[in-house]
Structure 1
Amino acid sequence: MDLSAGYNVSVNSSDVLDARLQRLIWVVMNGLLTQGELSAVTAAYGVVFLVGVLGNLLVAVVVLKVPHMRSPTNYLLLNLSVADLLVLLVCMPVSLIETWVVFPWLLGKFMCYFSPYMEFVTFHASTLTIMVISVERFYVVCRPLHCRETLTGRFIAGVLAVLWPAAFITSLPVLFITQFRQIDSVGPDPLYTCETETDTFWAKVYLVSSAAVFYFLPIVLLSGCCLVISRHLNNPDVQPSVGQRAAVDNRIRSRKQVTYMLLAVAVLFFICLLPYRVTVLGFIYAPEEMLQLLGNKGVLILVIICRIMVYINSTVNPILYNTTSTNFRSAFKQAIGIKTGRKTRRGTAEAMRNTSNTHMRTHRRSTAISLYVR
């Protein structure tokens, strides 16, 4: 959704410039952000864009290139990276252009509809992916026997084949509440605006429903899932025997690491999108006096903060994988050609085992000789 809807213009049926349009023209004529502020915002966008695009592309390389990383869980993370790349490549440049040129709309009719539509598609796809990841973690931790039979690669592929069409279909109403209008002309060149309506009945119904179904309800479900998983990890149902304790402890430790990493991804997603969702609802229900109290510059700064938070969410996941998962960190290094030392450690361990076996054979042979002499 275009967050600039809070300070975009609306035109009545007689095409007369109303107070909001006059205020917006004042914004353009006088400028809200200084050149230094615009440069700072642009630099922030640039850093987030480069880190996000490179990081998410690296996730794709890791999952597709490193054989042992091709697991159902990692394919879900790859799907999340695809959604993040769409946000960064499609929506972020549009937001930056809007920051520099608030009025008029410069990108044409197609981008006016395509950009907010893709924002909703990626938000919905990311939310659904995180919910699938949570369910997958629940089965891996709490129902491991059912997990092996159910969570196969074919099953995950089927889930993704349903997930993306669902995201595209549930975002279609955005096309009907987005308006591309010609409002005036300067000489031979017409001026256009692109706005996402928030004041009509059906726009309010859809925007509130989207926030409820794809944000607040998933938070409740995810919180319950986290509690069950955490309790199961800390208090496993099966108590291993003495001989199996080391193997079981290693397996539980590995599952904890992966589970907590994925839960951190989910929590960060909802935290980063919270300002966006609250601001959208605020534009719907906040009285005009409150927007006037914020002022044009205050509203614009709020919009910029919300957008940057959304783009940061699309950037930090690869960093989170690399810092919290030793498996991902090793695969990242392997994908870019850095030797991790795993082969060396494996060779050392094998040499130690061979030495141990030699000592055992020598010990048995010496014992046998001593028994024979006696």
Structure 2
Amino acid sequence: MAAIGGEWSECNPYITLNLSHPLAAATFLYSTTENYFFIIGVPILIAVGVLTNSAFIFTVYRVRSMRTITNAYLVNVAAVDLMFVAFGAGLYLSNYYSSPVRFDSPYKTWIGCAGSFGFVYVTYSTSLVLITLVAIERYCAICRPLQLRAISGKGRTTKLIIASWLLGVLLAACVVPRYSGNDIYCAIWPNNPTFASFPRVIKFCVAAHPDIYIFSEALNVIPFALSMIGNLFMYTHIIITLGRRPSLKQSDGKFDASAQQMNRVRNQVARLLIINGLMFFATQAPFRVTSIHNMLAHNTGTGLFTKEEYGILLLITRCLVIINSCVNPIVFFLTSSLYRHAFYKAFGFASRDTIKGGEDTKMSTISGRTYSVHETIT
């Protein structure tokens, strides 16, 4: 029998995968929904993610009053998101166009598999650590303000950010062995023109050992679960503390307008960061479900979903992960006048005098009155 798309000689070392029946071949092909996702959805999300995160980073760089401790963390979150949408989501796109076979790896060695997926996990792990640090900072600023003031400073923030990146790299290094091997097959495709150009040799990035697979998937779930529980605990205490705070009055019994204004901005930032954190965990959680599915399927041979359901879940989780890396700056803009006015100022959409009389004055006044609200690092 003549080989389709190549000579039999190149398949000699590998196990033959008989996909000559159209139904068998179809299980290795992208669905119509997946094709639309990669051809239309992913490029749009990449463009949106690059624009929004770049705009946020530029805004913090350009507007001096935005250079705060909280924003130092958020800029690094934006940088991680920018890296993911530009390279991680771009990797999904590159793999899609490199082969018509689902999950077919374009890499010739395990180094390519480990390196490409490792980069994606570095961005995810670093985001997880940074989101948790933001929650800790807000928790301390609102629930433990005296302790935070005693230790707060630019040097501490810089060290924590560097530690976040290092921890992200460490966590990624522990997960990377999940893709440290190559399964290579010689595929026999149906004998019709549709499959004439399909690759004879197909490769899949896999774990080098079954125990490594379980360990790596567990590391996908456990840090995420612990971080989510910790963040929810801090969010709950922040909301309770904000609800209990009385109105601030001066010695003559009148309301202190500046103090009230300070509280409003502080509460606005706290609510915004809680929304941001909840969105992160909501969009990342489905992907962790796939890790639980993979562990169960690996141990028992049967997972939580059928093959078709798992394909749909994988598509949804990929979409949500990419969306998460695009929308944070949009949420900041829509829900916070503080960030919205800073954006206007950075891009020249409003005159300096207009902003000077608005939110910009509030920001500088607050920063001058108390260190715990904006935590200025300049």
TM-score range relative to shorter protein: 0.7 to 0.9
Cα gap change, 1:198 to 1:314, in 2 (>3 Å): farther
1:361: which partner in 2? none
Alignment of 1:89-168 (within 5 A): 89-99=86-96, 100-102=100-102, 104-109=104-109, 110-168=111-169
Whether contact under 8 Å (1:59, 1:318) holds in the other structure is yes
2:10: which partner in 1? none
Whether contact under 8 Å (2:286, 2:317) holds in the other structure is yes
Cα gap change, 1:256 to 1:27, in 2 (>3 Å): farther
Alignment of 1:1-374 (within 5 A): 15-17=14-16, 26-27=24-25, 31-34=29-32, 38-99=35-96, 100-102=100-102, 104-109=104-109, 110-181=111-182, 183-184=184-185, 191-197=201-207, 200-213=210-223, 215-236=224-245, 240-241=249-250, 242-286=253-297, 287-290=300-303, 294-295=306-307, 297-339=308-350, 341=351, 343-344=353-354, 346=356
Query: 1:157 is aligned with what amino acid?
Result: T
CA distance in 1, matches of 2:21, 2:260: 65
CA distance in 1, matches of 2:31, 2:94: 14
Cα gap change, 1:23 to 1:48, in 2 (>3 Å): farther
- Please list every run of at least 4 consecutive aligned residues from structure 1 whose deviation after the TM superposition is greater than 6 angstroms: 21-25
Question: Greater helix share, 1 or 2?
Answer: 1
Deviations 1:148-197 (A, max 9, x none): 3422222111101111111111221233231343625699x983523233
Q: Report which of the two structures shows the higher radius of gyration computed on alpha carbons.
A: 1
Q: Secondary structure at the residue paired with 2:180?
A: strand
Query: 1:16 is aligned with what amino acid?
Result: I
**Identity over the aligned pairs, expressed in percent?**
23
Cα gap change, 1:192 to 1:115, in 2 (>3 Å): same
CA distance in 1, matches of 2:104, 2:78: 33
Whether contact under 8 Å (2:29, 2:101) holds in the other structure is no
1:364: which partner in 2? none
- Deviates most, 329-338 or 138-147: 138-147
Deviations 1:307-331 (A, max 9, x none): 1110000001010110111111111
2:372: which partner in 1? none
Cα gap change, 1:51 to 1:126, in 2 (>3 Å): same
Deviations 1:312-370 (A, max 9, x none): 0000101011011111111112222211x56137569xxxxxxxxxxxxxxxxxxxxxx
Question: Normalising by structure 2, what TM-score?
Answer: 0.77
Q: How many residues align?
A: 328
Whether contact under 8 Å (1:181, 1:193) holds in the other structure is yes
Whether contact under 8 Å (1:116, 1:174) holds in the other structure is no
Q: Which runs of 5+ in 1 are unaligned?
A: 1-13, 349-374
CA distance in 1, matches of 2:153, 2:263: 21
CA distance in 2, matches of 1:116, 1:248: 49
Q: Secondary structure at the residue paired with 1:258?
A: helix
Question: Normalising by structure 1, what TM-score?
Answer: 0.78
Q: Which runs of 5+ in 2 are unaligned?
A: 1-12, 188-196, 359-378
Deviations 1:68-93 (A, max 9, x none): 11111111000101111121122112
Cα gap change, 1:290 to 1:148, in 2 (>3 Å): closer
Q: CA deviation at 1:42?
A: 2.1
Query: 1:315 is aligned with what amino acid?
Result: C
Query: 2:289 is aligned with what amino acid?
Result: V
Q: CA deviation at 1:101?
A: 3.8
1:366: which partner in 2? none
Q: CA deviation at 1:44?
A: 1.1
CA distance in 2, matches of 1:89, 1:345: 33
Q: Secondary structure at the residue paired with 2:106?
A: coil
Whether contact under 8 Å (1:25, 1:103) holds in the other structure is no
Q: Secondary structure at the residue paired with 1:105?
A: coil
Q: Secondary structure at the residue paired with 1:171?
A: helix
CA distance in 2, matches of 1:299, 1:77: 33
